[in-house]
Structure 1
Amino acid sequence: MSKDYLIWQWQQDAERREMLADQAIANGQFKLAELYKLQAQARRRAIAVNSGDAQAIRELKRAA
Structure 2
Amino acid sequence: MALKAHLQSLSTRHQELESLLSTEMKHPQPDDTRVIELKRLKLRIKDQIERLRQGELATE
Aligned residue for 2:11? 11
Other structure's SS at 1:52 match:
helix
* Aligned structure 1 segments of 4 or more residues deviating by more than 6 angstroms: none
Percentage of matched positions with identical amino acids: 9
Structure 1: gaps spanning 5 or more residues:
54-64
The one of 23, 32, 47 equivalent to 1:45 is: 47
Say if 1:18 and 1:40, in contact at 8 Å, map to a contact too: yes
Check if 1:35 corresponds to 2:34. Answer: no
Shift of 1:40: 0.7
Task: Work out whether residues 24 and 30 of structure 1, in 8 Å CA contact, stay in contact via their aligned partners in 2.
Answer: no
